[in-house]
Copies of this chain bind each other. A is one copy, B any other.
Amino acid sequence: MRVPPDKTPYNTTGPFGHFSTYSVESRDRVRCINGATNVPMSTQWDPKPYYYPIQIAQYGLQHYSKWLENQQENHQIILGEKSSDWKGAAGMSDTTERLFYTDAESGWKIVNISAEENLSNAGAYIYLDKNESLPIVEFEWRPNDENSSFTILAKHKQDDLLILLNYQFHDDSGGGKCVWPDDGDVADLHPQKDGQVSFSFSMDPEIVSKWDFVSRNVLVDVARALSSTQGRKKTDNVVLRNGDIRLVSLGFRGKVSLRQEVRQSANQHKFAFEAAANWLVKNQNEKGGWSVPVERSIADRKLVLAPGWHSAMAQGHAISLLSRANFVFPENLKYLEAAKKALQLFEVPSSSGGIRAEFHGKIAWFEEYPTQPGSFVLNGFLYSLIGLFDLSTLDSKSLELYKSGISSLRQLLPFYDTGTGTIYDLRHVFLMNVAPNLARWDYHAVHVYLLKWIAQIEKSRGEFENFELFNKTAERWIGYANGKRAKHN
């Protein structure tokens, strides 16, 4: 069973748990990495894609952790520097203009492109590199009107299928569709040999007429596109790895200025981490939260959260991500300010739109799902404590909330222990006539991991009694997974 590496003192700006092994963007419930915001959209509880703050924060923490653990290395090559790299659409009646110059102020070599706007036009394009370990395409551009677009062409090797990924300024109110097939329903792609399919992502119209940096993971975009066709089942979720596709070309249409430095990279960890942190800063509400725009019901709809609910797990993850962003970009105070503002909801009761429950009216708990009565999900609470501790060195209020949470954990932890495994939440305590919601083994493993994690924090704090309690409890829980049982009387 996985446990955190034994590193003390605990580093609040280190990799986040084992999130570097995550691949949020490959989850079946992620519709796509949005072309406007560069963060994932979820379809977990609603078929219409929406922004799920926990998922976005996890995406950011994952890429932060990968970035740290790869020691910020990123193999990349630069394309399009030479004018001759830029091709015009072949054999078509429309004209494609390419104008090359060097900007006096920035010193950048720039190409101005003017091409027929229609998606059937290949526009002005360069060939991408065949190196299979470089699936990220990045460039600096200025689309000069809303009819501008760019297209990445990739080839799915096994299916011999050409895939066009079109990135457009589409007016579906903020890119709500995330990614869609251009030809309607293309449910049955895989058997189609020597074919071609076309998908679109929408971009943020606010960047029109501005210089903007684009970074797309083509592996991810192709996989989410192929997963987005109608009639697909969860088990049809497409996950692609380096070598499954080959990048072919990158083309532009409409009126576009472009720095002649297209990069093809091994990863986009720092970009993705920053995108997630920026999304959080931009989308924090006046309560300091990131509300979830879809209904969430648990316990056979005995507990229902109307759209607009907050989650302690979202607040905690957000704080963990924002405090790391503050560490990387200390000159920009917005991350720290947002992290501090995120503490407010820890003191607002669930009944008032907050995330705070009080067990038996006295033991404070930060609710992943702030239902009434409380549901007391363990893993979400533990993540919220980690968030609070991550900010605690910068904010005394955060330390105070963390310590009150630790006190609650000491008191309520026994209720999750069945002597043979663990319970996911305490819904059965306040809903009458409900069996305990046993944690399946992968959640049991999460409980163990998080408890060991918090044990380590307590050790770093010199709280050795808490360390012993949490560590030994985790050890006992590991025993359960290995078939041990608590003694009976």
- Give chain A's interface residues, CB within 8 Å of chain B: 359-363, 410, 414-415, 417-421, 423-426, 428-429, 432-440, 443, 465, 468-469, 472-473, 476, 485-489
Contact = CB atoms under 8 A, between A and B. Distances in A.
Contacts of A432: 410, 465, 469
Contact of A489 (B362, B437, B468, B489): B437
19 contacts: A360-B363, A361-B362, A410-B432, A414-B426, A414-B429, A415-B415, A417-B428, A418-B420, A419-B421, A419-B423, A419-B435, A420-B438, A424-B489, A425-B489, A433-B473, A437-B489, A438-B485, A438-B489, A443-B489
A424 B439 CA distance: 21
B433 A419 contact: no
Nearest to A444: B488
Nearest to A427: B414
Contact of A436 (B414, B435, B443, B472): B414
Contacts of A429: 414-415
Given A360-B362, A424-B489, A435 B417 contact: yes
A435 B476 contact: yes
Contacts of A434: 414
Contacts of A472: 433
Contacts of A425: 489
A425 B469 CA distance: 20
Given A410-B432, A419-B421, 9 more contacts: A419-B435, A424-B488, A433-B472, A433-B473, A437-B487, A437-B489, A438-B485, A439-B489, A440-B489
A418 B468 CA distance: 24
A486 B435 contact: yes
Nearest to A429: B414
Given A417-B428, A419-B418, A420-B420, A486 B438 contact: yes
B419 A469 contact: no
A434 B413 CA distance: 11
Nearest to A443: B489
A112 to B, nearest CB: 56
Contacts of A418: 418-420, 436
Contacts of A435: 417, 419, 476, 486-487
Contacts of A486: 435-438
Contacts of A414: 426, 428-429, 434, 436
Contacts of A420: 418, 420, 438
Contacts of A426: 414
In the complex, which of the residues A417, A421, A428, A489 has the most CB atoms of chain B within 10 Å of its own CB atom?
A489
Nearest to A471: B433
Nearest to A470: B433
Among A438, A473, A487, residue most surrounded by chain B Cβ atoms (within 10 Å): A438
A414 B359 CA distance: 14
The 6 closest A-B pairs by CB, nearest first: A435-B486, A418-B418, A438-B488, A440-B488, A360-B360, A419-B436
A341 to B, nearest CB: 32
Given A360-B362, A489-B424, A417 B437 contact: no
Contacts of A428: 414, 417
Given A360-B362, A360-B363, A419-B423, A433 B488 contact: no
Nearest to A410: B432
A382 to B, nearest CB: 16
Contacts of A423: 419
A97 B257 CA distance: 135
Contacts of A360: 359-360, 362-363
Nearest to A437: B489
Nearest to A486: B435
A405 to B, nearest CB: 17
A444 B487 CA distance: 14
Contacts of A485: 438
A488 B444 CA distance: 11
